[in-house]
């Protein structure tokens, strides 16, 4: 592969409805669409999934833009490489900044699969013919959440993830459990508890599928102590920013599950390593979501065709978040299932008319 041009498109869209977590509410979303053009005329697509402010991780749209333009793109431009792992290795000379790296790494993998003329899922060894999709409900009140779960159940989703925090956890989970005694329910705390919080013990009685990221992102030791006490599996999200972080968490016994987000872990290359590690170590693995646009959604679907992704992830229809996505076709979930795309690479086209409508900045790097 010889990348001769990289385009960065900063886009901004309004969500269909605000997404509320214990850390705040998102109602508008910016992102960066990355195009990597190869000498042969093919184009690979990636997406930077950082938010405008550092509420979820430390990266932002602006830090990603700077890293992509000034640091990472120059490492890949005009110096040929034969495999995406080589590109990832070059970028590994740069510390951290996983979401910026992931955007380019995604584009390189898409390009690589397109050069081979096969779906990305096949290139990475994915075998699932159907990808399992759950739904994440980000809403302010328990009444709103119950209404959204009702809709999700009617739409055929078999797993629901809800947001909790110390202020609302027990009433919220109890109300949901009473209404849906048999549903797979996952509670995502986004690090809103401190390690001496007794309320987490009380959550253990509700037969939750998992509790996601209860404690601080750097606190693997306290997560290990908590996992020893709870029968509910702990799933780590924010803590898992690399293969090394995943390995440390597993060695310490900090979790029984990991949600893999391509952006958060630094790219497809790193996501594959974490997937393989989890399978080897008997750690449950599922595909996380970032309220992303269609390019990252398509990458998620390819990733989730791997054998380890045996439970539903945060993969939902584009229409759940966007009036109109930037890709055709959009992602559509049917009865909790997504059919992987069959075309080469990530299998979706960019809807350039839509990109132009929502684009706030475009830069061409050579
Ligand atoms: O459906 C999605 O895209 C995932 C929703 C979600 O929970 C989330 C969305 C944005 C940032 C962090 C998280 C999270 O998993 O904590
Ligand atoms: Mg989470």
- Among protein residues, the one with the nearest Cα to ligand 1's atom 12 is 290
As a whole number of angstroms, the distance between CA 335 and CA 158 comes to 8
- What lies within 8 Å, CB to CB, of 213 at 6+ separation is 188, 189, 190, 191, 235, 236, 237, 238, 239
d(CA 332, CA 28): 22
Ligand having the closest approach to the CA of 236: 2
Q: How confident is the model at residue 78 (pLDDT cuts 50, 70, 90)?
A: confident
Nearest CA to ligand 1 atom 9: 290
Q: How far is the CA of 137 from the centre of ligand 2 (A)?
A: 11
- Which residue carries 């013990």 as its tokens? 201
Q: Which CATH architecture has domain 122-349?
A: Alpha-Beta Barrel (3.20)
Residue with tokens 């979706």: 348
70 belongs to an annotated ligand binding site:
no
pLDDT at 183: 94
Nearest to 169 by CA among 211, 118, 231: 211
pLDDT of residue 198: 82
* CA terminus-to-terminus distance, the chain: 15
Which residues have a Cβ under 8 Å from the Cβ of 15 and sit 6 or more positions away? 26, 27, 28, 29, 291, 321, 322
Pocket test for ligand 1, best of 57, 259, 314 (most atoms within 8 A of CB): 314
Which residue's CA is the closest to the ligand 1 atom numbered 2?
A: 289
Paired tokens of 314: 């945060």
Helix orientation angle between 294-303 and 98-116, rounded to the nearest 10 degrees: 70
Mean pLDDT across the chain: 96
Take residue 174 and report the two structure tokens written for it: 């109890």
pLDDT bucket at 6, cuts 50 / 70 / 90: very high
DSSP 3-state of 122: helix
CA distances from 54 to 11, 23, 49, 62 (A): 18, 11, 12, 10
pLDDT at 185 over 90: yes
To the query of whether residue 114 is one of the catalytic residues in this protein, the response is no
How is domain 3-117+350-365 classified at the CATH fold level?
Enolase-like; domain 1 (3.30.390)
Pair 15, 26: CB distance under 8 Å: yes
Residue of 72, 35, 32, 87 whose CA lies nearest to 263: 32
Contact between 183 and 146 under an 8 Å Cβ cutoff? The reply is no
Q: What pLDDT, in 10s, does the model give residues 226-258? A: 999 999 999 999 999 999 999 999 999 999 999
Q: What is the pLDDT of residues 275-301, one digit of tens each?
A: 999 999 999 999 999 999 999 999 999
Closest listed residue to residue 1, CA positions, set 87, 70, 73: 87
3-state secondary structure labels for all residues of 144-174: HHHHHHHHHHHCCCCEEEEECCCCCHHHHHH
Is 343 flagged in the annotation as binding?
no
Q: Is the pLDDT of residue 196 over 80?
A: no
**Separation between Cα atoms, residue 304 and residue 322, nearest integer Å:** 22
- Tokens standing for residue 1: 């592969």
Element (H, E) at 73: helix 73-76
Mutate to test the pocket of ligand 1, among 15, 20, 56 (most ligand atoms within 8 A of CB): 56
Give me the residue label for tokens 């699932």.
Answer: 128
Residue 237 annotated as part of some ligand binding site: yes
In the chain, which segments carry CATH 3.20.20.120? 122-349
Please state which of the ranges 28-37, 62-71, 150-159 shows the lowest mean pLDDT. 150-159
Nearest ligand to the CA atom of 237: 2
Summarize pLDDT for 323-351 with one digit per residue, the tens. Answer: 999 999 999 999 999 999 999 999 999 99
Q: Single out the catalytic residue among 30, 101, 114, 261.
A: 261
Segment holding 246, helix H or strand E: helix 243-252
The CATH 3.30.390.10 domain(s) of the chain lie at: 3-117+350-365
Residue 168 alpha carbon to ligand 1 centre in Å: 18
- With a CB cutoff of 8 Å and minimum separation 6, the contacts of 226 are 195, 200, 214, 215, 234
List phi, psi (to 5°) of 240: -95, 90
Nearest CA to ligand 1 atom 10: 290
Residue 193 has pLDDT above 90, yes or no: yes
Cα 146 to averaged position of ligand 1 atoms, centre (Å): 18
The burial of 129, by beta-carbon neighbours within 10 Å (0-12 exposed, 13-18 middle, 19 or more buried), is given as: exposed
What's the rounded mean pLDDT across residues 39-49?
98
Ligand 1 mean position to 107 CA, how many Å?
Answer: 22
Is residue 168 pLDDT above 90, yes or no?
no
Q: Is 101 among the catalytic positions?
A: no
CA of 192 relative to ligand 2 center, distance in Å: 11
pLDDT of residue 23: 84
Ligand 1 environment, Cβ below 6 A: 56, 136, 188, 190, 237, 288-291, 314, 316
Which atom belonging to ligand 1 lies closest to the Cα atom of 261? 15
Q: Are strands 135-137 and 159-163 parallel, antiparallel or unpaired?
A: parallel
């Amino acid at each position: 592969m010889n990348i001769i041009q990289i385009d960065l498109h900063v886009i901004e869209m309004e969500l269909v409805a605000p997404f509320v977590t214990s850390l705040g509410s998102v109602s508008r979303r910016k992102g960066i669409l990355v195009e990597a053009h190869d000498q042969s005329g093919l184009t690979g697509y990636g997406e930077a999934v950082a938010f405008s402010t550092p509420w979820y991780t430390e990266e932002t749209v602006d830090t990603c833009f700077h890293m992509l333009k000034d640091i990472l793109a120059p490492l890949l431009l005009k110096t040929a490489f034969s495999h995406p792992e080589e590109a990832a290795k070059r970028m590994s000379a740069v510390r951290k900044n996983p979401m910026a790296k992931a955007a380019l790494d995604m584009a390189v993998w898409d390009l690589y699969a397109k050069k081979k003329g096969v779906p990305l899922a096949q290139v990475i060894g994915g075998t699932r013919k159907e990808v399992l999709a759950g739904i994440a409900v980000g809403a302010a009140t328990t009444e709103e959440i119950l209404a959204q779960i009702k809709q999700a159940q009617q739409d055929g989703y078999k797993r629901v993830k809800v947001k909790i925090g110390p202020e609302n956890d027990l009433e919220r989970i109890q109300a949901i459990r009473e209404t849906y005694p048999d549903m797979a329910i996952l509670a995502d705390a986004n690090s809103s508890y401190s390690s001496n919080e007794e309320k987490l013990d009380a959550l253990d009685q509700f037969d939750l599928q998992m509790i996601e990221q209860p404690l601080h992102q750097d606190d693997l030791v306290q997560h290990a102590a908590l996992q020893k006490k709870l029968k509910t599996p702990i799933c780590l999200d924010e803590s898992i920013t690399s293969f090394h972080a995943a390995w440390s968490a597993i060695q310490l016994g900090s979790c029984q599950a990991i949600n893999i987000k391509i952006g958060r872990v630094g790219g497809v290359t790193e996501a594959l390593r974490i997937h393989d590690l989890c399978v080897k170590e008997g750690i449950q693995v599922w595909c996380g979501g970032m309220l992303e646009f269609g390019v990252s959604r398509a990458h998620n679907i390819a990733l989730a065709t791997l054998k380890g992704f045996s439970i539903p992830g945060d993969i939902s229809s584009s229409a759940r978040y966007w009036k109109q996505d930037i890709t055709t076709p959009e992602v559509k979930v049917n009865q909790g299932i997504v059919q992987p795309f069959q075309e080469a690479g990530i299998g979706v086209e960019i809807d350039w008319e839509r990109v132009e409508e929502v684009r706030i900045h475009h830069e061409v790097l050579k």
